[in-house]
Every structure is written in structure tokens, then in C-alpha cells.
Amino acid sequence: MVKVLLLGASGLVGGELLRLLRLDARIAAIIAPTRQPLPLMNKLINSQSEDISALLKTFNQPVDLVFCCLGTTRKQAGSQAAFRKVDYRLVVETGETGRRLGAHHMLVVSAMGAKANSWLFYNRTKGEMEQALSQQGWPQLTIFRPSMLTGIRATPRLMEGLSAPLFKFFPKRWRAIAGKEVAQAMLQQAFSANHNGTVIIESDAMQPVHKVANKSFKE
């Protein structure tokens, strides 16, 4: 039976993934720290704190898999520094925690266009996050780069709502993708991936999840 650490369980992709993990007979326990309490449910171990970084340091229960679905926007965070604290620092700390707890595979949501040397702050932050995780020595690291996400969020994002309908006319790689499709792809890869090192899965390869293609590998 598999124990997992899940960050971002209250978000769009993380919430869908939590639902899938609870229904999966292979999963024994889901450790999912959040700032606000989640509803009581089977398999879920939910600790709450405004300081997730500090909370991660207290964890000592071994886990097998790490799922990280953290992500915010500069507008929601309030500043570039606050955005980076979540989308870079907290994600990297999640990876460090997973390694300390003995996990062999980390699966993380990044973003299309992530590039460490991008002139765009958002893309650069995501790229630097990917780079930092790849240097943690994971036996397996799977990075998901979805296009614009669709689905019901606790806090709606105006630009997603306005732009998503337009993305259906784009080539498949750039089309908007449902949060549940990303979650399904993450769960599938958690139990089917046989790669060593880092693999990046682009948005079109998550639609549908049973046909995973267009992957770039880095050993």
C-alpha cells in the first residue's frame, strides 16, 4: 500500500487529485497539509497551518510518492516576492521534504512555457523551480506543463474565465485543459512511469491521458 504527500489539495488540480487518490485501492494514506481545514474523509491526514514551510519540517512519517499541485498568481499573492514564495520556494521545500521522508517519485505541476532564463517572471519562476527540483537527486521526477487550466476554483481567476473559450481554437498543445485531466495524468504516471531521472509532460500529452506522447527527457 502506498502513502503519499500531497501539496495543493485545496486547489483545482490538487482537489481533483485528492478525490482520485481516495478512490484508488493502492493508496493507504494521503498526507495533505493546508492552510485551511479540509472536510473529513477516509485516507486523509490533514494538518493545517498558515506556515506550511514550518509544518513540512515537522513531518516524519515515510511516504512513497509526492504530488505537488501548488500554484498561485501574482495578483492573488499580492507581489512578485509572495508569488515566488509559493510557486518556487514552497514547491522546492516540498521536494526536500519528500526526499527526507524516503519518497522515490515526485510529480509536480509546472506550466507551459516554463524556462529558467525566460524574460517573463512567471515562466522564469516555474523554470527555476523545475531546475531546482531536478537537482534534488530524485530517482523519478515527473513535471507536468499544462496550458491554461479550466474547472471550478474556490477563488475564480478572471483571466482564465475570459481566455479559456478562445484556447479551444488553438493547436492542441496550447488548448485549455481541464484540471481533472491533469490530475488523471498525474495519477496514471505515478503508477506507470518506468523512467529514471526527469521527464517533462507537455499539455497535449495529457489529453487524453492514455496516450502519453511528446515527452522530453532529461537524465
**Domains of the chain with bracketed CATH:** 2-218 (3.40.50.720)
Q: Give tens-digit pLDDT for 154-165.
A: 565 455 455 556
Shortest CA distance to 70 belongs to which of 43, 97, 45?
97
Q: Is the per-residue pLDDT at 73 higher than 90? A: no
pLDDT at residue number 210: 41
pLDDT at residue number 207: 76
Asked whether 3 and 61 are in contact (CB, 8 A), the reply is yes
pTM over 0.75: yes
Query: Residue 42: what are its φ and ψ, rounded to 5°?
Result: -65, 150
Asked whether 6 and 15 are in contact (CB, 8 A), the reply is no
Report the DSSP pairing between strands 140-145 and 197-202.
parallel
Three state DSSP letters for 177-194 = EEHHHHHHHHHHHHHHCC
Residue 30 CB-half CA count within 13 A? 28
Q: Is the per-residue pLDDT at 212 higher than 80? A: no
Is the link from the previous residue into 171 a cis peptide, with omega within 30 of 0? no
Lowest mean pLDDT among 36-50, 98-112, 118-132, 148-162: 148-162
Q: At which residue does the C-alpha cell 487550466 appear?
A: 149
